[in-house]
Structure 1
Amino acid sequence: MPHILIVEDEPAIADTLTYALRAEGFACTWLGTAGEALASLRERSADLVILDIGLPDLSGFEACRQLRSFSDVPVLFLTARNDELDRVLGLELGADDYVTKPFSPREVCARVRAILRRLAPRSEPAAPGPFQVEPERARIRFHGQPLALTRLEYRLLEHLLSQPGRVFSREQLLDAGGVASGAGYERNIDSHIKSLRGKLRAAGPGEPIQTHRGLGYSYDPEHS
């Protein structure tokens, strides 16, 4: 039974989420502050954290920043703000998705299930050409060199490697990275691809990620 940690200072919202998630078969724990949540997660991991941005002691952004220093647990942000900058900042900090208040409990449950499905371990990790994919460590090697990838960069590269030669659109890469396609975030994929290319060039020869103008990106083994 997956364990969901809810970090929310409003009891009515926490009760609604707890009821909906338990009805879907999840185990839930509710904490009202970021400090309590961080202390709890240092002692016992969760399968996913639902994290409110407007907490009384620390912002959800700062809590996520601290959490990422010791845990890779998936994070779903709850936010009362619908500003794109906030959404992008949350995703850059390592969040997996976000929901804007007011929200439907069914939508939250669906997003939780989708995140957990995406992160489920794969039985046969891809290892094409000069790449070695180590999903249990969320690590990829290129020509034997481990790449220092962000969470989103890891997911993007893993997805490209999964189907050599296939052209993935920006929207498909957003989905693979766990970012809602309606977040107005499509063009930011270009900056992440640029960063990936720089790290690949530093690790070994070749230009394995190819650009297809107006279409998207692909992994081309012949250019590795």
Structure 2
Amino acid sequence: MKTRILVVEDEQHIGQMIEAALGLAGYECEICRDGRRAVAKVHQENYDLILLDIMLPEMNGFEVIEAIKSREIPVIFLTALQDVTDKVKGLRLGAEDYIVKPFEIMELLARIEVVLRRYKKNLEILEYRDIRIYPDRHLVEKAGRQVALTPKEFDLFVFFVRNKDIAIGRERLLSAVWGYEFMGESRTVDIHVQQLRKKLDLSKQLVTIPKLGYRLES
């Protein structure tokens, strides 16, 4: 899956220039031109990085980063403001980097690579087909869209992904995910597997092994 970057920039020519450069570099890019809409998009969808202008309509960049802090997405500020006070404020609010306009595209791409490398090093991401799993955040997204799983559904799916292509008995699943020995409650596993198949469209991949349990196929 491509790395998704949200560019929040109200100047159309700058946004188009960044979008073209990111596309050529292999990133999936989306443009947003006002702060309030950016906040809504970040809470509705999942991004790997945000390039955020400060001087925006509706909400400025400082207000935006405060409003999306809970999403824990790395942010790089892009701004014409050169005052050291603004730079310090942005970094203290949680930005990973701060680039002053005008800037060279090669410098922007290099800084993006550094931030993503640093961020991903500290954040484990599991991938299965078009599904991404963020264990530390208990978050699952399929094709870029967040999927709501219950805590046990999440733990069960993570266990399957870590053990894909292995036939796993219900007893082992109960012990690993629910933390107790098999006591005839196999329906507990079956019901959760049914929900995973439905929510993540895994009817063909999460197969039943007769008289044993299940296997998640690559």
TM-score interval w.r.t. the shorter chain? 0.5 to 0.7
With over 3 angstroms needed to count, the CA separation of the structure-2 counterparts of 1:34 and 1:123, relative to structure 1, is closer
Question: Is 1:82 the counterpart of 2:82 in the alignment?
Answer: yes
- Contact kept? 2:48, 2:73, Cα under 8 Å: yes
SS of residue in 2 equivalent to 1:99: strand
Unmatched 5+ stretches in structure 2: 125-134, 138-218
**1:121 offset after TM fit, Å?**
3.6
Q: Which residue of 1 aligns with 2:35?
A: 34
**1:45 offset after TM fit, Å?**
1.4
Determine the C-alpha separation between the residues in 2 that align with 1:37 and 1:10: 15
With over 3 angstroms needed to count, the CA separation of the structure-2 counterparts of 1:57 and 1:122, relative to structure 1, is closer
- Contact kept? 1:121, 1:136, Cα under 8 Å: no
TM-score, normalised to structure 2, is 0.55
With over 3 angstroms needed to count, the CA separation of the structure-2 counterparts of 1:136 and 1:121, relative to structure 1, is farther
TM-score, normalised to structure 1, is 0.54
Q: Which residue of 2 aligns with 1:132?
A: none
Task: Give the percent of matched residue pairs that are identical in Structure 1 and Structure 2.
Answer: 40
Q: Which residue of 1 aligns with 2:9?
A: 8
Determine the C-alpha separation between the residues in 2 that align with 1:119 and 1:10: 28
SS of residue in 2 equivalent to 1:38: helix
**1:123 offset after TM fit, Å?**
9.5
Unmatched 5+ stretches in structure 1: 125-134, 138-224
**1:78 offset after TM fit, Å?**
0.6
Q: Which residue of 1 aligns with 2:20?
A: 19
**Letter of the 2:35 counterpart:** A
Q: Which residue of 2 aligns with 1:93?
A: 93
Determine the C-alpha separation between the residues in 1 that align with 2:103 and 2:58: 23
Determine the C-alpha separation between the residues in 2 that align with 1:79 and 1:120: 25
- Contact kept? 2:123, 2:136, Cα under 8 Å: no
Determine the C-alpha separation between the residues in 2 that align with 1:36 and 1:99: 22
RMSD: 1.8
- Contact kept? 1:7, 1:51, Cα under 8 Å: yes
Q: Which residue of 2 aligns with 1:51?
A: 52
Task: Give structure 1 regions of 4+ aligned residues with deviation exceeding 2 angstroms.
Answer: 121-124
Q: Which residue of 2 aligns with 1:108?
A: 108
Matches within 5 A, 1:35-184: 35-68=36-69, 70-121=70-121, 136=136
Aligned residues: 126
Determine the C-alpha separation between the residues in 2 that align with 1:7 and 1:64: 11
**Letter of the 1:57 counterpart:** E
Determine the C-alpha separation between the residues in 1 that align with 2:102 and 2:15: 13
